Structure 1
Amino acid sequence: MAGNVFGQMFRIATWGESHGRAVGVVVDGLPAGLPFSEADIQKELDRRRPGQSEVSTPRHEADRVEILSGIFEGMSTGTPVSMLVWNSDVRSSAYDAIKDTPRPGHADFTYMARYGMRDHRGGGRSSARETIGRVAGGALAKLLLSRFGIQIVGHVLELGTIRANPLPFEEILKNVEKTPVRCADLEAAGKMLEKVTAIRQEGDSIGGIVELIIKGVPAGLGEPVFDRLDADLAKALMSIPAVKGFEIGAGFEAARLLGSQMNDPFRVVGGKVTSPSNNAGGILGGISTGLDIVCRAAVKPTPSIGKLQQTIDLKTLENTEITIKGRHDPTILPRIVPVAEAMAALVLADHMLRSGFINPRTLLE
């Protein structure tokens, strides 16, 4: 299976399956001299782990990270950093009865079509549990970026038809971890929580929109044509399980605007080039403008639901029905927030190295 490596100069390779012994990641390209510890990684993994609130799956995993390489005396050595998380709360028998009946909305059928076999236990490699490696690698990328004043914050902007009101960055940062749904608009968050509870009782699930705001990115970061910064961010977020759409800045609303409305005028304020608007979302021509990068990901409802659904039997090729048992999230949105932040951090760290904004020896000087 190809396609398990992401990035060019700052790269990750994730490995493992949902019900295998462990999952993990190898991070290559982290410059030497960055102080970090397991606690720095664990902080991000705790935001992603299952069983943390009433809006997530009841599967209980401590998700304790073990760093196997790439660190000496509390600092990165410049060599590959290998990290591992053991799977402990595994109940594979719940999936035995449906191993020949692909679940609607899952990758069961397409994995069989592509490889002729699959690990049916919890979805195997296609499970969202694979994102543990992304979050662990992204935690290192975040630490690296923070040394250069770059900050990434994600929040749930919309759940179903409930949309948060626009808030200043500082208020989003202050409020986002105060509620289980990770919505910084606390009034909207209360409505979202009620909605998720009702949906869960019905045996169904619900999706929504996650927004990322990235501050401190210098102007001039990115590559033209095929390796545009926004294109790489789109690939990063679209590679997350359950993400079905991406937009940046005005996004799809840009199709409804006139050029005079869409264009962000340039102004000089305090000797710095800026703009009173940011419809471009902080990127023009694939290269950062120096304004905040603002992008959003549309997240589908969790496909594992308790309702009766139509499917097929892969052995007999006959139509049948399926009811999915096991432990599943009624909405994946709150747990996707740290994953989305991690993927954005990986893109930015990679481009900072590629564009020369970070010299690999900078941290040692």
Structure 2
Amino acid sequence: MSTYGTLFRVTTYGESHCASVGAIIDGCPPGMELTAADIQTQLSRRRPGQSNLTTPRDEKDLVHLQSGIERGVTLGTPIGLLVKNEDQRPHDYSETDLYPRPSHADYTYLEKYGIKASSGGGRSSARETIGRVAAGAIAEKYLKLAYGIEIVAFVSSVGKIHLPSSLAPPSLVSSGAEDDDEVQDALSEAFQHLLKTITREEVDKYPTRCPHPETSERMTQRIIRAKDAKDSIGGTVTCVIRNVPSGLGEPVFDKFEATLAHAMLSIPATKAFEIGSGFKGTEVPGSKHNDPFVNRPDGKLGTATNWSGGVQGGITNGEDIYFRVGFKSPATISQGQKTAQYDGTPGELAARGRHDPCVVPRAVPIVEAMAAIVVMDQLLIQNSRKTAASLLPPITTLPPSMMQPKNSKAA
């Protein structure tokens, strides 16, 4: 469906070459100051044509607020917003009348609905994510004002070029035997420092949105090489969410990391998701991987390490949440490809149009937006539970060990 969320519900609409794209956001709390400028910042970070590393499609992506806001303040009613598609070239896609583009959604949309958009990727296009980014900007403003929550994403790899020390892999030392349990900590000091200090301003200094000068330059050259070859290349985006309260997540089917994975893998071109130590954590014995609890300066329990990525048992534990999303190489490329027409006739397709040789630099604000939507929805759910429980008489029949301390700062 085109709606995500339980209490903070986001419905997006629009195809890649229709008149407009946008969203309806239901569940935004009333009484929050909100203007188009609050939303435009993230939309401008997502828009095409930012550098020679992205598609040259010239869309300004200016947001128009339609409802739910009066005199710059949210009313609590559905917020409607739209962004016009101004630089449309549907004639660039006439070849898709004959050919389903390899690894694109032309064929699968036709199989599912029996009809498809005549131009571009339709709902599978990255144009659809405009509504997500706008909704995420609204959620993010509330999260910042109410909880001080910060969300920062950055490009951690392009092709085989990786940000150094972003995740020092657990590697066998000494004898190198497969049963050797001596491992390096996956959370290198450099990575931990990056997660705690990285800002969007630092990320945006580089066209690749990789906050490491030497690596960013290598990524730039790799993307340009793909572009010059009329090809494409994939990569990964790493994201950190700071200051998230403990207690978020709805076991067992809506665990926090499950809803986060759902949100991230709904983004176009995603193929992988991992949280915390991820797949590398499978190589580490429990005695090394467990996060021992410690008393934090604020008096709450914390963990000495954070291999869990801020989530345990599907519930946030108050530590930084960090995860990584993998984006495949864009499917639409301009070099000729041997393929087949819809009727099975062999042929060669050289797609036209304006496309990103690598999507990860523009995917950064999309990842941030979906993270904000997930946290916002989970916070509203948890706060509704706590409010309902607070109306009940105090419990006197249970031992203190079964009850949350009165001074707890959980959501």
1:72-103 C-alpha deviation (Å, 9 max, x unpaired): 11110000000000001001111112222000
Which residues in structure 2 correspond to 1:245-256 (within 5 Å)?
245-256=272-283
- How far residue 243 of structure 1 moved from its aligned partner, in angstroms, is 0.4
Distance in 1, matches of 2:386 and 2:152, equals 25
| Separation in 1, partners of 2:386, 2:149 | 16
For 1:326 and 1:143, locate their aligned partners in 2 and report how far apart those are by CA, in whole Å: 35
Partner of 2:334: 306
Q: What's the offset of the Cα at 1:353?
A: 0.3
- Residue of structure 2 in register with 1:47 after alignment: 45
Once the two structures are superposed, residues 1-57 of structure 1 have per-residue CA deviations (whole angstroms, 9 ceiling, x without a partner) of xx0000000000000111000000000000101111001111010000011111100
Sort the Cα spacing of 1:38 and 1:9 in 2 relative to 1 into closer, same or farther, 3 A.
Answer: same
Match of 2:286 among 256, 259, 273: 259
SS of the residue corresponding to residue 33 of structure 1 reads coil
What is the identity, as a one-letter code, of the residue corresponding to 1:188?
T
TM-score, normalised by the number of residues in structure 2:
0.85
1:278 to 296, 299, 306: 306
How big is the shift at 1:173?
Answer: 4.1
C-alpha contact (below 8 Å) 2:152/2:198 kept by paired residues: no
Tell whether 2:177 aligns with 1:149.
no
**Superposition pairs for residues 1-365 of structure 1, below 5 Å?**
3-147=1-145, 148-165=147-164, 166=166, 167=191, 168=194, 169-270=196-297, 271-314=299-342, 316-356=343-383
| Alignment match, 2:400 | none
Give the Cα–Cα distance (whole angstroms) in 2 for the partners of residues 306 and 358 of structure 1. 52
Paired residues in the alignment total: 357
> Could you report, residue by residue, the CA deviation over 1:243-287 in whole angstroms, capped at 9, with x for unpaired residues?
000000000111111111111111113222111211111000110
Please list the CA deviations of residues 318-358 of structure 1 after superposition, one character each: whole Å capped at 9, or x if unmatched.
22221111110010001111001000100000000000079
CA distance in 2, matches of 1:171, 1:130: 28
Deviations 1:119-143 (Å, cap 9, x if unpaired)? 0311112111000000000010100
Q: Which runs of 5+ in 1 are unaligned?
A: 361-365
- Residue type matched to 2:304 in 1? P
Alignment root-mean-square deviation, CA: 1.4
> 1:358 & 1:240 partners in 2: Cα distance?
29
Judging changes above 3 Å, is the alpha-carbon distance between structure 1 residues 53 and 268 closer, same or farther for their aligned structure 2 residues?
A: same
Q: Hey, what's the Cα distance between the residues in 2 that align with 1:62 and 1:98?
A: 26
* Residues 96, 119 of structure 2: 8 Å contact kept: no
Aligned residue type for 2:261: A
Give the deviation of 1:172 after TM superposition: 4.8
Partner of 1:267: helix, strand, or coil? Answer: strand
On the 8 A contact 1:172/1:184 being kept in 2, the answer is: no
CA–CA distance in structure 1, aligned partners of residues 300 and 76 of structure 2 = 35
Larger Rg over CA atoms = 2
1:359 Cα deviation after fit: 9.2
**CA separation of 1:235/1:171 partners in 2, compared to 1, >3 Å: closer, same or farther?**
closer
- State the distance in 2 between where 1:39 and 1:326 align: 30
What residue identity is the alignment partner of 1:294? Y
Q: State the percentage of identical aligned residues.
A: 45
Which of 347-356 and 162-171 deviates more?
162-171
8 Å CA contact 1:35, 1:75 repeated in 2: yes
Partner of 2:214: helix, strand, or coil? Answer: helix
The runs of 4+ residues in structure 1 deviating greater than 6 Å are: 357-360
Describe the shift of the 1:171–1:152 C-alpha distance in structure 2 as closer, same or farther (beyond 3 A): closer
Tell whether the 8 Å contact from 1:353 to 1:359 is kept in structure 2 after alignment: no
